[in-house]
Every structure is written in C-alpha cells, then in structure tokens.
A = this chain, B = another copy of it.
Amino acid sequence: MSATLKDIARESGLNPSTVSRALSGGYGVHEKTREKVLAIAEKLNYHPNLIARGLVTGRSHTIGLLISDIRNPYFADLVRGAEDAAYASGFDIVLCNSDLDPVKQMKYFRSLREKRVSGILTSSVAALNRSEIDELDSYGIPIVVFDETRRTRHLSTVLADNFQGGGLAGKYLMGLGHSVIAHLTGPREMGNLAQRCAGFLKALKTSSNGVTPIVMRGLHTYHGGYEMAKKLFSRHPSVTAIFAANDVTAFGVLQAVLETGMSVPGDISLIGFDNVQLAGITHPPLTTVEQPKYEMGQAAIEILLSQSKEHGERVPEHRRFGVRLIERKSCRAI
C-alpha cells in the first residue's frame, strides 16, 4: 500500500537508518543526500507511519481528554483551549465523554492507557475514589484534573478560585439588598461546587443584617436547575435571589421562573457561574462569575507537557485561576 522508509532506502541505494535521519532529524546527514531522500520521498508519495515511530520512541504524541459531556458549553471552551495548546506542540487530543458514569469513566482511562497516550486531562467527573486514584497514579503518565480540590501524590490540578467566586456572588446579592437568598447546587462530592457554596455562605455570614441562606442540592444541569427552582418556589415563596452553581443550571432556573409567571430580575435576581458563551444573550443577559475556561484548558496542557519531559519522580503542579463578576441584567436592587 503506502510507501515505507525501506522503499525509499532501496530506491536511493541508501540505508534505512540514513533515510530515517534525513527525514526526521536533518542533523548528521549530508545536504546532498538529504535532498535526494526528500525528492524520492516526494516522488514515492511517502508519509511516515507515526504509529511505527511511536512504538519505538515510546511517544504517541496523543493526549486523552476525558470530560462529562462536550455539549456543555463550559467544556467546549475548556476543550478548545486544550486542543489549541496541544496542536501548537504537535499533540492530538482524543476526546472522551463519560456522562459522569463511573464505569464508563474507568473504561476510558484504561483504554487511553492502552493506547499509550502521553498524558490525560480530565474534569473531575464522577468523584474518584481512593483505589481509582491509585490506579491512575500507577499509569506513570502525567495526569491533570480540572476542578479537583483534593490533592494527591501524583495528580496535578487546575481550577478557578471557586471559594472567592462564591463570595463574589454572595456579596453582590447582599449588596443589592436581598435577604432571602438561595443557592442551587450539585452533589456534595464535587469539590469545586462545595467551594463555591462555602464562599457564598461565608459571605452571607459576615453580613450585618440577617440574611437567610437556603441551600438546595440536585443536579448541576439545565434540567436540575429547572427542577430545583420549581421546588424552591413552592417551598420558599419569599426568595428574591438565586445563586446557581453554574450558568447552565441558571438557564434551567430562568426557564422555571418564566414558566411560573415571574420574571428575572423583576421577581427573582439570578446569578450564575462560568460565563459560558451564551450567557450574554439570554433574556435577561445573565450576571455571572467568570472563570477563564479557555486559559484553564491551555494551562492543563502546559503542565502536562512540562511533566512529560521530566524523568524520575514527577512533582505535581497546581494552578488556580482568578475569577471576576460579570455584571449584566439578571439582578436588581430590592
């Protein structure tokens, strides 16, 4: 089928190893023979077999990227940042969607490992348990996980300052005069959400006037936001402000508010988290806490790449990104 290095060796009367050098390095090869090799390669329509090369060098130049669902715009930004950075360094990204399913997740991890990827990036999907973390550690490749607040011996992390972000949201809402404020969030195990919640609660606690925080847990998805909001309105009709764990959840809340015949920000002030692409064009445009998703994706690749160069014991790296409040039209003073 495709021409091989041997073919061009035969054709040129050179030795395969010389051809190899001419093609990849360029060093230690006479310019004349190099040109000759290149010409023949062109003529034979030769294209290196990267998987053969990978076998001998041990480098696949491929990075696994495991998230819950690419349709969540938060991940789209993250992935794009990672892909761009990887591309710039000559690496490919294999994309895996786990849907937060612990079984699927481990299947993907194992499959990536068998493909001998250079490293793995993962959002902290279904919370990893001890033995799973140990398994990942045993892979001997750099792994960086997003939004993971715990520290382990080998895993690197990149995350936003969720605690601060939660505080920003809480303070903002209080500053607007709200006193019955709800926080709609996801499962307890998600460390990043827990941090947002903690920061939020802390902010409310430091206020002079008596604010009543209501915390509800469900799924941090569009649907989850919708459900939680409905429940909230029936149980606590006096709420005037909601801090949603992320924008997509906030979108669900928005939907519920509209269906209930209320309005944002007329009856309910709403604030999200992430500053997802479409947050600016909902009605009303969503006030939210921005985290630099694209940059976080990039950073993860940088860490990964720098670690894969190191030998011996790898020291994990941890990077935390600042957040900021994006004020739009979904909150009002009371």
Interface residues of A (CB under 8 A from B): 1-2, 45, 47-52, 54-55, 60, 62, 65, 69-71, 73, 76-77, 79-80, 83-84, 87, 92-97, 110-111, 113-116, 138, 140, 251, 254-255, 277-278, 280-284
Contacts and interface: CB of A to CB of B under 8 A. Distances in A.
B62 A71 contact: no
A277 B248 CA distance: 11
Contacts of A62: 94, 115
B70 A115 contact: no
A51 B45 contact: no
B114 A49 contact: yes
Given A79-B70, A277-B71, A93 B94 contact: yes
Contacts of A138: 45
Contacts of A111: 92
A64 to B, nearest CB: 9
19 contacts: A2-B140, A45-B138, A47-B110, A47-B114, A48-B114, A49-B55, A50-B115, A51-B55, A51-B115, A65-B95, A69-B80, A70-B70, A73-B73, A79-B95, A87-B97, A93-B95, A95-B95, A255-B280, A282-B282
